[in-house]
Structure formats: C-alpha cells, structure tokens
Chain A
Amino acid sequence: MKKTQVFIFAILIGAGAIFIHSQQEVVLSIKDGMPVIPLAFPDFISQSSSQEIREFGKDLHQIVSDDLNYSRIFQLLPESHYSYIRPLNPKKIFFKDWESIQATLLLVGIVSESESKDFLFEGKIYDVKSSRFIFGKRYQSAKSLLRLVAHKMADEVMKIYGERPVFTSKVVFVSDRDGNNELYMMDYDGQNQTRLTFNKIIDYMPAWSADGKQIAYTSYRATEAGLYLYNPYEGVRKEVMSEGTNFAPTFSFNGKKLAFCSTAEEGNSEIYIANSDGTNIKRLTFNTAIDTSPSWSPNSREIAFTSDRGGTPQIYIMDAEGSNVRRASFGGSYHDAPAWSPTGDRIAYVSRVNQIFDIYVLNLRTNKIIKLTESNARNESPCWSPDGRHLIFSSNLNGTVQLYTIDYDGLNLKRLTSKGSNKLPDWSR
C-alpha cells in the first residue's frame, strides 16, 4: 500500500516536472498566507424544553460551522478545548477562560421558541481579548428558512472583517437534468437547487446582475440566439438583443453596465456593452478575429476578454471604452474564459494543453501563474465567489459535467451537483 502511494507520488512529481518544463511560466502550488482567526464556537444553547427547538439549534450550529470553516478566514477551535474551561454561561461570560484556549472571537448562539414563527435564534459575537460584545442579531423564522438564517448569521461574522457576504450568495447555472438545457439556481453550498426557466428551448450562459436581482442569459428561439434579462423573483423577462448569436453576458461590478458578445453585425463575435437595463448598446471591438468571453475588472474600468487576433485564443485586457488593448496571457496556445477576481489582483482562466482543460490563476501583481485544477479532464467556466477566496467551475472529472468549487489556492475541491449535466455557473456578487 505504502509503496503504491510512493509510486503514485513519484509519478505526480514526474508529471509536475514535465509540466513545469513545458510551460515555464507556470509555478505550481503557491500558498498565499492568509490570516486565520481562531474562533470559539460552542454548541448553541437551547432555552426551550422542546426537542424540535433543540434540533433546530443543532442544525443551525452545523450550518454556521460549515460556512465559517469554508470561509478560509476563521479557524474553529476543536471542541475538545471547551472541556478545559467552565461551561458557557451566556449571562456571565468568563473571557479569561476563552482566552486561555486561544480564542480570539467567541460566537454564542441561543435558540428558543418564537411567538409567531417556528423558532427564534440569537447570535452574539464577542471579542475575547477586550472582553467586549461586538454585535448581535436576532432572527425569527419558519423552519423552512433555517439554512438561510444560519447563512445570514455566518455572513454577519464575515462582515466584521469587511468581507462581502458569501453564504447567502446564489449560483445560477445551466442543467439538462429535466431533459433540456434550462436555468437553475442554488445556494453557494449546492443546497436548494431550483429550476428557473421552463422554456423547452435552450437557455445558456447566465450571469447575475451586480445586485443579484437580474439574470442575463442567452435563449435559443427559432433562428436566433437572443440575449435576455430575467428577474427570477418577479418572473419578468426583457429582450436585449436578438439578431444573430448573442452570448457571454457579464455585469460590471458597479452595476451600471452589461458586456456581452454578439455576432449580429458581421457574423463574427464582437464585444458590446450596454447599460445594465439592456439599453444604449455600443460595440467595443472591431476586428475580424474572434473576440469573446468578456469579464469586468472590479473597478468597472477595464474588461478582460479572449481574442484569437494573434493566431490562437489568448487573454487580453482593454479599457471599458474599447481602447488600450494589451495582451495578458503568454505561452500556451489556448487561453479562454477569463474571470477577474473581485479583489482585482487575479484573473482565473482556462488553458488547454494536449486536449486537457485546466483552470489557472494569473496574479496580476506578481505575474505568477498558479494551476488550480489537476485532472485528466475538462475544467471550464471559472467564476469567483463574492469574496474572491473560492471559485466555481464545471468539470467532467467524474464522467458527466458537474459543478465544483475550489479555493483560490487549489484546496478544498468540492462537488455541488449530481443530477444530469450541469455547467456554465455564475456566482452572484
């Protein structure tokens, strides 16, 4: 057994070495140092004799715990540490106890019965060193929204560190699980997968608006692949452009603009921008080569895109007015699907080497490249989480095409879907 492992390891190293040799600018496995904040997260206290309320408390604790572990910001203290100190008394907290087990933050949760809803949950955050209450939130909710309550609480904890909410974010994607490519959405963790369109025609390449209220997407109708805006909460749809093939929409981070591709004018994919309501359409690229796959910089002033104007598909960056085009990817013959991170310093993209598609991350500050996925498969359509610490992408790693998340440094690969084939994810901001 051990020999086999060593052997596999040797093969991996060998493969890595060959890879480094063939693609010199790629540096494997760089791990950015990330501050990890030790958080004490004792079981939630139930102030009810009801078994159901106690169960709610357990579920909430589990979900918040999963969220915070996923965050890569917080490190939950091992439960065994809590046995060294006095049990938690929410009325009188002995902060010295918590400090003695290396906690920086303490998160206390209390569940009780609610007069009007199924349960009441109260979460309080304390700074252990200064023995200070930072903030608290109280939620009353139906049990059907228990996951949402937990995600909201976890997001509040993220906000202390100035982070964008991740756990209440939504992923929109394309699935053929019901026989036809239709739009679906789900929570960031793959829960609550919900079908959005019932067109019986192909819906494709969805993208969230900056406020998470609209989805821009391509819909094939008769002889046209039109671009539409759809509000899934109100069920309202609006056409942006229908002549030709219109695709790869993406909203600017400031919420004002929509970039997309259209072949309407010359039968060649060009990049256009419009106001985020689909009006005021302007063409940005004028080139006989393919220009596709736009992605906004977080300051909404630049757009990364793919073009084969140099002979092979490569990633370029231009100003949002279409000027000042410069090439951003080098080496390799097939780079596509750039995704600019919300932190602004990285661009994830897909590179094809020997018919294998992997996702790479280019660090714009250091010009270093990390290979995120390592598989004999097609890994495609990367998209960043709102906080830029995770990516979602599609992969046929296990046969059918499914959605996976992975952290910015290649850790924590996690599969989110399994029914039918699932692709083209877009993570709300």
Chain B
Amino acid sequence: MKKITIYSLAILLVFSFVVSCKKKVEEAPPPPPLEPVQEEQPVVEEQPVVEEVVEEPVVEEPVLTEEEIFLQKTLDEMNAEAPLQMIHFDFDKYFIRDDAKPFLEANAEWLQKFDAITILIEGHCDERGTEEYNLALGEKRAKSTLDYLESLGISADRIKIISHGKSQPIDLEHNEDSWQKNRRAQFKIIGK
C-alpha cells in the first residue's frame, strides 16, 4: 500500500509539475532573444553632415605682379634671365654709340620699374689692347654707361662699376665679329 502511495505521490508531483510548467509557458512573455545586441549592428541614424554656413570674405589669391615675381628670385636667378641688355662699343672708344642708346633706355626703364635693384656695370675690351690700357679703357666704358643711365634719371648710388679689361672675352675667336662682341658693357644685378 505504501508503495502505491509513493507512486501516486510521485505521479501527482510529476503531473503537478507538468501542469505548473505548462502554466508557466503560457504565462511567461516570449523570452528575449539571446544576445540580440551582439549579433545585430547598432542602428546608426544616417544623418547628413551639417555645418554652419558662414559667409566668409573672399580671400583674394595674391596675384603677384611681374615685378613682385621677379623680386622673389635670387640674384643668381635674376642674372640668369639677363633683364638688362649689354651694349657694345667701337674699337678703342668708350662713347655710347647711337645703336646702344635704345638698349640703355630700355635698361633705364627697367631700373625705374625695379627701383630697389642695384647693379654692377662691367666694362670689357677686345684682345687688341694691352692688359694695362684695356683695364683703364674698360672702366671708361663702364663709366660712360653709368653716366648715360644717370642722364636717364637713374641714381648713380644704385650703380657700381668695374673693369675686366680683356680678361673675360665672351667670344674667343680672333676676328672683327668676336672683337665687336667682346667690346661691351654688361650689367649684373647685385642687390634688390
């Protein structure tokens, strides 16, 4: 009898458990899905980038003048461009020839535009003079070039002169053409 009691109690217990379980299942809300946060990407709200629009003053790209561009260069770069044209002289002479005057006028104009530039005028001679006399003659050529530029309004304070005599020919031939090329006053920018 005792055995029957135990069995029946057990059955009852099981039954009651099943009933109670059934009840629970019905009553409980659906279990939250397992770790849904980890599997799903967080929802990012797609938003346009918003920036404040401010009316800024128009920045003018500094449009450099030709002058300013030139003045930014180094002296070597300037001289490589040779903005000042050399002039030539007659044999044994140092006066400014008529054909040299337009060049000097252009040079003076340029010097007026670039009024901070200082220059060196080098006087040169051809090989048909002695070393000693040519040094003096080259200086005369540089000086008369300076004087002419001064007469065109260029301050002599901006100009230095030097003579190289015949020591620096630009043409090494020995004929009238090359001699003419070598009898010259040439310009070098030495300050800005």
Contact = CB atoms under 8 A, between A and B. Distances in A.
B130 A222 contact: no
15 contacts: A205-B132, A220-B164, A225-B163, A244-B139, A244-B162, A261-B136, A267-B139, A267-B161, A268-B139, A268-B140, A290-B136, A292-B135, A352-B130, A355-B128, A424-B131
Interface of A: 181, 202, 204-205, 220, 222-225, 244-245, 247-248, 261, 263, 266-269, 290-293, 306, 308, 313, 334, 336-337, 350, 352, 355, 357, 378, 380-381, 423-424
Contacts of A202: 164, 167
Contacts of A223: 120, 160, 162, 190
A337 B133 CA distance: 8
Interface in B163-189: 163-164, 167
Contacts of B164: 202, 220
Of listed B127, B131, B143, B162, residue having the most chain A CB within 10 A: B131
A189 B69 CA distance: 58
A337 B137 contact: no
Interface string B90-126: 0010000000000000000000000000001000000
A149 B164 CA distance: 41
Contact of A263 (B92, B120, B131, B139): B139
A158 to B, nearest CB: 31
B162 A225 contact: yes
Interface of A is mostly: strand
B146 interface: yes
B142 interface: yes
B131 A380 contact: yes
Given A225-B163, A267-B146, A245 B131 contact: no
B156 to A, nearest CB: 9
Given A244-B161, A245-B138, A269-B136, 10 more contacts: A205-B135, A220-B164, A245-B161, A267-B143, A268-B139, A293-B130, A334-B92, A337-B131, A378-B127, A424-B131
A205 B131 contact: yes
B137 A290 contact: yes
A245 B139 CA distance: 8
Given A223-B120, A267-B139, A267-B146, A245 B132 contact: no
